[in-house]
Amino acid sequence: MARSRPTLFVALGILNILMGVLLLFCGVCGGLQAVSKEQLTVNNRDVSQEYRDHMNSKVPAYTPFKIGDVALRCLLALGFVAAGIGLWTVSRWGHILALLFAALAVFHQALVVLWQVVFIRPARTEFLSRLPFMDLGFLAGIETIIVVGWAALILLYCLGLGIALVLPSTFRAVWSPRAAESESDEEDEEDRPRRRRR
């Protein structure tokens, strides 16, 4: 008889898969932006090249960081989806994977926020503030608020996920000898029809 899945694992599995899909969408959008040239037009004047030159001069490793950020987002997306499947099946590898990628996501978002606040916002504010006829420096502040807000949501999710995964009841459901026996029995049941067909 197949073991019943605890409701918590079902919920965490679904949430992880949804988070992975969302991160994948963000990664694809970021990738398209990274490979395409940023277009910036002010008063019908193309200042895109000036903007890129300014950001590359003011922000260390500006382009490599953007590419690395996109790659890490895609890796996190795949990791969250895989962990979600593992949690859905109440497997030990899913439990480990979920904790690992939750920690990696926290590190990634902390790095992105630090990068945004220390380098990106000041550089963009300086460029947008010196444009003729209008001061658009406030746009960099709005972008920073969005980045920090998104990072806070990811942090809260990963924190909640981490707490749920280290609860004693969660550990028992995955790592107790009884759980291992149930998993072994489930695998045996799946193999029986194959043996009979032979």
Predicted pLDDT at 194: 53
Q: What single letter denotes the amino acid at residue 167?
A: L
What CA–CA distance (Å, rounded) separates 100 from 79?
9
Position 1 scores a pLDDT of 42
The confidence score (pLDDT) of residue 171 equals 82
List, for residues 135-167, the tens digit of each pLDDT value: 677 878 898 999 999 999 999 999 999 999 999
What DSSP line would sit under 49-118, residue for residue?
Answer: HHHHHHHHHHSTTHHHHHHHHHHHHHHHHHHHHHHHHHHHTT-HHHHHHHHHHHHHHHHHHHHHHHHIII
Residues of the chain scoring pLDDT < 70: 1-4, 34-40, 42-43, 132-135, 178-198
Supply the pLDDT for residue 2.
47
CB 19 within 8 A of CB 157: yes
Return the pLDDT at 192. Answer: 54
Contact 99, 39 (CB under 8 A): no
pLDDT of residue 38: 64
Q: What is the pLDDT of residue 185?
A: 52
